């Protein structure tokens, strides 16, 4: 066994974290209070930020001016074996692209036309993995080449969803061996998110934004439309749902590759069987983002009165018992405080489902926090 594995810390024992207790529920969160940056937040909820063994965790860091909201984010690595946190300023990334390899802690990200990676150790160096060629867009510079990355099931590529101006969206994949980018589809619809199937390297979940369906229409949450599609390499996309539904979003794959989860706004968290297209509403309510553990027995969600001035409100649910427990409930940050442009909690299960990671504002700043799932499960038996 490597020497560092014998003395590895946990978030509970690390000097980098401080306990915060919810006065209403008694639930304790571990806030990352080692703060090399004024803004430290969780990744997008579909992108795990921790290795399976819990040693490494990556954090999105920003350096806006005091009272500001926007800055190009960079990545920092928390190493619980060394009990250290290091910011790597060369890791400026686009959109919500960072993706961590749970086996070794390597992080991948996009920066304009390039896909990069680096390891969490200070001795590691950034490596350019691949490059997007402009001839695929007739010389036009894309706005981005990926919103949020995911690995192909065979770990040989990551997905791409490329926006070129406001008129063209491309879906494809970028091989990790540096070989040529492959375009699966070009469309004038707003294909804003894509995620590789966890079991099939030739299948992606494609998400078509509401505004791509009704580009000139005033938003109406009662309009029924298809947002989620399955895109198989070489084929046309097909809707995930048997029938269109009212406003919905924040989708993710079940690890078995046979089900897809999504939030039907104002209705609840639903799970769709891709063979039968049968839907189950496993958490009725007005919810925003959600995530499930690998078994599907436990769920976590955030709630907010407004997505533009969001609360920090995160709740855990035991599906079998129907019981819930509040993790945090804190009002929006005051507008004069330093924050980030997309300040949602984005809770997700991580570290082999031992923790839930989320962005918190309980100290009137933007922090990353963890909470033990074992404690939440015990409270909801």
What pLDDT score does 1 carry? Answer: 36
- Sequence-ordered strand ranges (E) for 56-190: 56-62, 74-79, 84-88, 99-100, 107-111, 114-118, 127-131, 157-164, 168-175, 182-187
Compute the distance between CA of residue 233 and CA of residue 185 in angstroms, rounded to an integer. Answer: 9
Q: What is the pLDDT of residues 130-183, one digit of tens each?
A: 999 999 888 888 888 998 999 999 999 999 999 887 778 999 999 999 999 999
220-225, long-range: CB < 8 A, 24+ apart: 221/246, 221/247, 221/265, 221/266, 222/246, 222/247, 223/247
What pLDDT score does 342 carry? Answer: 83
What pLDDT score does 138 carry? Answer: 85
What pLDDT score does 215 carry? Answer: 63
Which ranges of the chain have pLDDT less than 50? 1-5
Compute the distance between CA of residue 136 and CA of residue 183 in angstroms, rounded to an integer. Answer: 8
What pLDDT score does 212 carry? Answer: 66
Q: What is the pLDDT of residues 346-367, one digit of tens each?
A: 999 999 999 999 999 999 999 9
What pLDDT score does 374 carry? Answer: 98
Helices (H), 146-250: 210-213
What pLDDT score does 340 carry? Answer: 86
Q: For residues 121 and 127, is the Cβ–Cβ distance under 8 A?
A: no
What pLDDT score does 213 carry? Answer: 65
What pLDDT score does 2 carry? Answer: 43
What pLDDT score does 3 carry? Answer: 46
Portion of the chain with pLDDT greater than 70, in percent: 96
């Amino acid at each position: 066994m490597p020497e560092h594995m014998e003395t590895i810390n946990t978030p509970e024992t690390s000097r980098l974290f401080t306990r915060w207790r919810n006065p209403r529920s008694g639930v304790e969160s571990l806030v990352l209070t080692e703060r090399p940056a004024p803004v430290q937040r969780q990744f997008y909820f579909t992108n795990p930020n921790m290795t399976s063994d819990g040693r490494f965790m990556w954090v999105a860091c920003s350096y806006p001016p005091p009272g500001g909201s926007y800055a190009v984010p960079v990545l920092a690595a928390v190493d619980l074996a060394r009990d250290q946190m290091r910011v790597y300023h060369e890791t400026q990334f686009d959109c919500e692209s960072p993706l961590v390899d749970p086996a070794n802690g390597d992080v991948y990200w996009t920066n304009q036309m390039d896909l990069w990676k680096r390891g969490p150790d200070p001795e590691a160096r950034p490596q350019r993995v691949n490059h997007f060629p402009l001839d695929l867009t007739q010389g036009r510079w894309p706005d981005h080449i990926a919103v949020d990355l995911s690995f192909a099931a065979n770990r040989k590529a990551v997905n791409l969803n490329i926006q070129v101006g406001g008129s063209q969206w491309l879906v494809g994949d970028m091989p990790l061996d540096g070989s040529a980018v492959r375009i699966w589809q070009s469309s004038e619809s707003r294909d804003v998110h894509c995620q590789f199937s966890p079991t099939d390297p030739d299948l992606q979940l494609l998400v078509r934004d509401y505004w791509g369906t009704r580009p000139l229409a005033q938003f109406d949450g009662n309009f029924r439309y298809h947002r989620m599609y399955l895109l198989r390499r070489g084929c046309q996309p097909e809707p995930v749902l048997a029938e269109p539904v009212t406003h919905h979003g924040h989708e993710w794959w079940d690890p078995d590759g046979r089900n897809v989860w999504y939030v039907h706004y104002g209705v609840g968290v639903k799970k769709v069987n891709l063979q039968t297209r049968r839907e189950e509403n496993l958490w009725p309510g007005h919810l925003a983002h959600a995530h499930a553990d690998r078994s599907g027995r436990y769920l976590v969600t955030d709630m907010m009165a407004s997505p533009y001035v969001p609360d920090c409100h995160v709740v855990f649910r035991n599906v079998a018992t129907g019981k819930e427990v509040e993790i945090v409930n804190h009002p929006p940050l005051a507008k004069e405080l330093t924050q980030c442009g997309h300040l949602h909690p984005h809770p997700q299960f991580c570290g082999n489902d031992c923790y839930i990671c989320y962005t918190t504002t309980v100290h009137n700043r933007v922090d990353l926090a963890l909470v033990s799932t074992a404690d939440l499960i015990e409270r909801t038996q």
